[in-house]
Amino acid sequence: MSAAAETGAGQGATVSARRVPRVLSIAGSDPSGGAGIQADLKSIAAVGGYGMSAVTALTAQNTRGVRAVHVPPAAFLGEQLDAIGEDIAIDAVKIGMLANASVIEVVAEWLRRTSVPVVVLDPVMVATSGDRLLDADAEAALRELLPRADLITPNLLELAVLAREAPAATWAEAIAQAEAVSAATGARVLAKGGHLPGADAPDALVHAASATVVEFGGARIATTATHGTGCSLSSAIATLQAELGNWTEAVDEARRWLRESLRHGESLEVGGGHGPVSHFAGLWSRGGLRTAPAPREIEADWWAGIADVRGAIDELPFIRALADGTLAREPFLGYLAQDALYLRDYARVLAEASRLAPDAAAQAFWANSAHGALVGELELHAGWLSGGGAPGALGVPGVTGGAPGAPGVTGTTGAADAGRSADPLHAAATFAAEPDATTTAYLDHLLATGARGDYAVLAAALLPCFWIYVDLGERLAAGDFGERALDPGHPYASWLATYADPGFAQATRQAIDLVTLLAADATPARREAMHRAFRASAEHELAFFAAPLAHEPAPRLARAASR
Ligand SMILES: Nc1ncnc2c1ncn2[C@@H]1O[C@H](COP(=O)(O)OP(=O)(O)O)[C@@H](O)[C@H]1O
Ligand SMILES: Cc1ncc(COP(=O)(O)O)c(N)n1
């Protein structure tokens, strides 16, 4: 019982290689983790980048406020920047807290001699708590740095300072100030409405050179968790701009991510002041937290997990006698008769997998397997069961290692077939037997798994029939069960050849790849259900091989007399 399937187009196991932007944050440290480089690294990772950080200053702060600031010698920041820049290609830089004029000078000098495709500057001056994060006398130096940025992301108060005006009282005033700053610096300016009164928290991307203003509307989210929103937004935009190459799309996507993170911030229960946003809330809920094993690991685990079943199959008198040619004709024909019945329904279940398959390649694979099981393998069975001559001379029926899409059968296999039924499916003897309890149990398991409609679980249940047979066939053909199995005059040579066929091995490889890829992508619970179905089928395989030489079939239950 195996699916001698033709090799249809397989389920590719490759995951598309997306370029992960390498993003550097030049910013201050917030030990409470909500703002500064800590927020930046989380944000970069949350939107799909690889984060790096060069620390400008150390703050002692929490969600309630900043207690102290320590600025290491600016030259040491230069050392950090050189260490990173001399080794790593940087796709984007986000600049945050700069603390004082000498820090700004080091950053400006580094930017002058480093080519970075994306520079986002968040002109941090005052924390959400109201504490100063930039020396008052450093404003002039900061102003000189602005033209080096591609995008500047000031909050309302910072925008007013940069525009040398009073803080905007209306959104229209904020946009006008952003236009002025953009015109003066050449950079795009993102005006942010987080500090506006009212029910809305809009942002606007302003570019004076192209006279464009793109507004992003959005209702204000009722939350106290706004610590680090500016840091988080600017690093997310830098990352997304490196990936998407489009400022409007980058801002739009970053805002959607930030709003989702804002909604979940309070649930973190961090601190008694303005808490942080929950940077990974969306990822956690959509992707889960558990690690997933790779397909190759699943393959090794599942195979090792049925080592007991495989060992028991190897020891079966039926397999031993089949290998050394001492198996009597009766149990062999009994086995083939049950196998023919099995294959007929197995093909139905393969067809059900084809019906449920989510893509055309998998659909074709299962359909080909169904065809191969019915037509290809049954040719062998029909030859024997119809009493046809010496099937050992038949060669390999059914399994042709042809191109994808080619039918998985050989109609006839030459002169040696003479005397055999031309159409095995119509040969009266093929399905003449009654299914015994073992065959019925295996088929019930497969048919029920198919009826439950979970494609991944069904695919896992179908796998042992491929895998155990191909493994057995290959080891028999390699002489692992004795040299006699290699003898062309072996009485069951046609059976041995069928399951050692390279086309069958190739189809089995595809089935393993397809199932283990599904398992790797599944939730842990679903993967476990797949594994249970796989294990159950393997146990049925053992029972199926044991049945022909089991001493006595289990006594039939006496029917209750009906009145
Ligand atoms: N309560 C809120 N609801 C929705 N968005 C907000 C809220 N608070 C801030 N934002 C958004 O967070 C980002 C940071 O804005 P803002 O708070 O103005 O800057 P900063 O953190 O630099 O002071 C902006 O996109 C702003 O619209
Ligand atoms: C080290 C550091 N950098 C920046 C901010 C600004 O935080 P916010 O984004 O809430 O304005 C901060 N509080 N601490």
CA–centroid distance, 35 to ligand 2, in Å, is 5
Atom of ligand 2 nearest to the CA of 59: 1
Secondary structure class of 135 (helix, strand, coil): coil
Angle between helix 329-356 and 524-546 (nearest 10): 160
Residues linked to residue 439 through DSSP beta bridges, in sequence order:
none
Active-site pick, 7, 226, 430, 508: 226
Q: Please state, in angstroms and rounded to a whole number, the distance separating the CA atoms of residues 136 and 157.
A: 14
256 against 393, higher pLDDT: 256
231 is catalytic: yes
**pLDDT in the model for residue 551:** 67
Token digits for 356? 């449920």
Q: Is the pLDDT of residue 421 over 70?
A: no
| Nearest C-alpha neighbor of 149 from the set 180, 172, 178, 117 | 117
Whether ligand 2 lies within 6 angstroms of the CB of 35 is answered as: yes
pLDDT in tens, 484-529: 999 989 999 888 888 788 999 999 999 999 999 999 999 899 999 9
Does residue 229 line the site of ligand 1, with CB under 6 A? yes
pLDDT at 408 over 90: no
Nearest ligand to residue 256 Cα: 1
pLDDT at residue 389 above 50?
no
Residue with tokens 């939107």: 47
CATH architecture designation of domain 316-549:
Up-down Bundle (1.20)
Tens-place pLDDT, residues 156-207: 999 999 999 999 999 999 999 999 999 999 999 999 998 888 899 999 999 9
175 C-alpha to ligand 2 centroid (Å) = 23
Q: Is 123 in the pocket of ligand 2 (CB under 6 A)?
A: no
Q: How confident is the model at residue 105 (pLDDT cuts 50, 70, 90)?
A: very high
Q: 230, 408, 450, 503: which is the annotated catalytic residue? A: 230
Taking CB atoms within 8 Å and a gap of at least 24, the contacts of 477-486 are 481/314, 481/319, 481/320, 481/323, 481/324, 482/323, 482/324, 484/323, 484/324, 484/325, 485/323, 485/324, 485/325
Alpha helices in 27-100 (DSSP H): 36-46, 74-85
| Angstrom distance (rounded) from CA 408 to CA 4 | 8
Residue from 455, 467, 472, 505 nearest 350 by CA: 455
Is 192 labeled as catalytic in the residue annotation? yes
Residue 138 has pLDDT above 70, yes or no: yes
Q: Which residues, other chains included, contact 449 with Cβ-Cβ below 8 Å and sequence gap of 6+?
A: 349, 457, 458, 461, 533
Q: Which ligand is nearest to the CA of 132?
A: 2
Q: Is the CB of 230 under 6 A from ligand 2?
A: yes
pTM of this prediction exceeds 0.80 = no
Ligand 1 pocket, residue 201 CB under 6 Å: yes
Q: Which of 118, 124, 83 is nearest to 236 (CA)?
A: 118
Report whether pLDDT(316) > 80. Answer: yes
Question: Distance from the CA of 64 to the center of ligand 1, in angstroms?
Answer: 17
Q: What percent of the chain has pLDDT over 90?
A: 77
User: Which residue has tokens 């649930």?
Assistant: 267
Segment 262-279 shows an average pLDDT of 98
In contact, 386 and 427? CB cutoff 8 Å? yes
546 pLDDT higher than 60? yes
In the chain, domain spans? 34-267, 316-549
Ligand with the closest atom to the CA of 25:
2
Beta-carbon contacts of 539 under 8 Å, excluding residues fewer than 6 positions away, are 309
Contact 86, 110 (CB under 8 A): no
Could you tell me which CATH class the domain 34-267 is placed in?
alpha beta
Q: Which of residues 103 and 129 earns the better pLDDT score?
A: 103
pLDDT at 395: 33
State whether the beta carbon of 230 lies less than 6 angstroms from ligand 1. Answer: yes
- Which pLDDT belongs to residue 432? 85
Cα 323 from Cα 337, distance rounded (Å): 19
Asked whether 388 lines ligand 2 (CB < 6 A), one says no
Q: Name residues whose C-beta falls within 8 Å of residue 355's C-beta, 6 or more positions apart in sequence.
A: 363
Decide if the complex's ipTM is over 0.90. Answer: yes
Residues 230-243: b if buried by 16+ CB within 10 A, e if exposed = bbbbbbbbbbbbbb
Spatial separation of the C-alpha atoms in residues 250 and 230, rounded to whole Å: 15
CA of 222 to the centre of ligand 1 (A): 12
Residue 422 has pLDDT above 60, yes or no: no
206-221 average pLDDT score: 97
Q: What is the mean pLDDT of the chain?
A: 88
What is the predicted pLDDT for the residue at 18? 65
What secondary structure, in 3-state letters, does 416-480 show?
HHCCCCCCHHHCCCCCCCCCCHHHHHHHHHHHHHHHHCCHHHHHHHHHHHHHHHHHHHHHHHCCC
- The residue whose two tokens read 């680090």 is 228
Assign 223 a pLDDT band (cuts: 50, 70, 90). Answer: very high
Sheet holding 50-61, edge to edge: 66-70, 50-61, 22-29, 92-95, 119-121, 151-152, 188-192, 203-207, 212-216
Residue with tokens 């062998």: 380
Alpha helix (H) ranges present in 186-280? 229-244, 247-263
Q: Is 230 a catalytic residue?
A: yes
Res 398 pLDDT > 90: no
Residue whose token pair is 């091995």: 505
Instruction: Give me the DSSP letters along 321-384.
Output: HHHHT---HHHHHHHHHHHHHHHHHHHHHHHHHHHH-SSHHHHHHHHHHHHIIIIIIHHHHHHH
Between β-strands 22-29 and 92-95, what pairing exists: parallel, antiparallel or unpaired? parallel
Judged against a pLDDT cut of 60, whether residue 392 lies above it is answered with no
Work out the average pLDDT over 246-272: 98
Ligand located closest to 59 CA: 2
- DSSP annotation of 73 reads -
pLDDT value of position 400: 31
d(CA 202, CA 219): 8
Site to probe by mutation for ligand 2, drawn from 128, 237, 277 as the one with most ligand atoms within 8 Å of Cβ, is: 128
pLDDT digits (tens, 9 = 90+) for 15-48: 345 689 999 999 999 999 999 999 999 999 999 9
Instruction: For residue 55, report the phi and psi dihedrals to the nearest 5 degrees.
Output: -85, 125
Write out pLDDT tens, residues 466-493: 999 999 999 999 999 999 999 989 999 8
